[in-house]
Chain A
Amino acid sequence: MWIWFHKLGSPPHFYRTAGRLVPWFGIPALLLLVAGTVGGLAIAPPDYQQGDGFRIIYVHVPSAYISMFGYVAMAVAAAVGLIWRMKVAFAFAAACAPVGAAFTFLALATGSIWGKPMWGVWWDWDGRMTSVLVLFFLYVGVMALRSAFDDASKGDRAAALLAIVGVVNIPIIKFSVDWWNTLHQPATIAKLSAPSITMDMLVWLLAMVVGYTLFFAAVVTMRLRGEVLLRERGARWIRELNAHA
């Protein structure tokens, strides 16, 4: 039953499987991103309060969601790597970090651009903004810690610990708008009651969220293959791979 799990731990098998997966993530991602962008920018109606300015939601919300989703994925992989000493899991955590950091930056940047016209400020230190900034620093810290060790496996383990510790920030980000007074408004979609957004706006947002998730999966899978090659350099299967190519 656990055969597939153990097979995943085998780098050559994983390298081939991952290569086949990339287009299955990438192509639907591209289609959804195009549909969501056109729908969000051209088809969805303007907002009653914010007019056309609200359309930045179609970039901001999926980026912010991926910044947290990517962190949890990285932390889970880090825990699997620590507990089972699984090389591919560490490689996955390493592949997630820069992509997650990029989306966190995108969420902060688009939030800032959105904040200036609506709130009147680019930035203010409320609970949501501060905790997302901490998330960005956590990603950077995990990457820096990994590369600070000469011994790669020690770096993996140290970075994994930091990634796992940083998970406490995820519920803080999510509930910051409920626990404290914030400038940022509370959740529109991810809550127990019905979404506070009309369907003709929501469908394009959902397309973007799914599209971003698949895009994240495609990019991480591609990075992961590179990471596996890098970590297995000198192994026999790679030499054989090169001989065939």
Chain B
Amino acid sequence: MTPTRKRRLMLVAGLVAGVGLATTLALRAFQENMLYFYSPTEFVEIDVPAERTLRIGGLVADGSVQRESGSMTVEFLVTDHAYSVPVRYTGVLPDLFREGQGVVARGRLGEGGLFLADNIMAKHDENYMPPEVAQALEAGKMRAIERAAEQAEAARATGNGSAGGYYGGGYQP
């Protein structure tokens, strides 16, 4: 390689390294400002200014969806299993919206900690499978839970019989 080419190669390598470093630093510096959505924990722990539009994201808590009869208004909890934020929304929900599903709500903090959403987006995961496979997986999970419960039951029956036996019996899914 001629000296000129070597110098140009160094120049190109230096350019990529320099721009890469600058971008990395910039992205790290702006990490917080680039937050697309807050998790319920972050939302609860930071002081969110009222009237500021932001997004919160998490799972729609099981059993929390309540529809107001005669209107398009719905209320539910967005949770990350540590904290939950009550959300109120009026409008059409995306097809994938359901309990247990990931969701991103855009809106602002209203009175009493209620999040007033003007837009609800449903997240879906990166898994793709036919319905039968999904059902088989679900059935398998249920069987595993049952088996674990049976084993715990058996362990309790044949166990040391101590008064604390019940302690180990409960299955935590």
A interface residues (Cβ-Cβ under 8 A, vs B): 45-50, 54, 57, 79, 82-84, 117-121, 124-127, 161, 164-165, 167-168, 172, 179-183, 185-188, 196-198, 200-201
Contacts and interface: CB of A to CB of B under 8 A. Distances in A.
Interface of B: 5, 8-9, 12, 15-16, 19-20, 23, 27, 34-37, 39, 57, 92-97, 104, 119-135
Given A49-B124, A188-B128, 7 more contacts: A45-B130, A49-B96, A83-B12, A118-B122, A180-B34, A183-B121, A197-B129
Contacts of A196: 125-128
B130 A183 contact: no
A49 B16 CA distance: 42
A48 B15 contact: no
Contact of B57 (A117, A181, A186): A181
Contacts of A161: 15
A83 B13 CA distance: 11
Given A120-B94, A125-B36, A201 B124 contact: no
Given A118-B96, A121-B121, A181-B57, A164 B16 contact: yes
A50 B36 contact: no
A121 B93 CA distance: 10
Nearest to A179: B27
A92 B11 CA distance: 21
Contacts of A164: 12, 15-16
A180 B126 contact: no
A79 B34 contact: no
Contacts of A127: 34, 36
A57 to B, nearest CB: 7
B8 A47 contact: no
Given A84-B5, A180-B34, A187 B126 contact: yes
B123 A119 contact: yes
30 contacts: A45-B132, A46-B131, A48-B129, A48-B131, A48-B134, A48-B135, A49-B124, A50-B124, A50-B128, A82-B8, A82-B12, A83-B9, A119-B122, A120-B97, A127-B34, A164-B15, A168-B19, A179-B27, A180-B35, A181-B36, A183-B104, A183-B121, A183-B123, A185-B125, A185-B126, A188-B127, A188-B128, A196-B125, A196-B126, A197-B127
Contacts of A48: 129-131, 133-135
Nearest to A47: B128
Given A82-B8, A124-B121, A183-B121, A198 B128 contact: yes
B144 to A, nearest CB: 19
Contacts of B130: 45-48, 198, 200-201
Contacts of A126: 36
A165 B19 contact: yes
Contacts of B127: 188, 196-197
A118 B126 contact: no
A80 to B, nearest CB: 10
A197 B128 contact: yes
A168 B123 contact: no
B1 to A, nearest CB: 9
A48 to B, nearest CB: 3
A56 B77 CA distance: 31
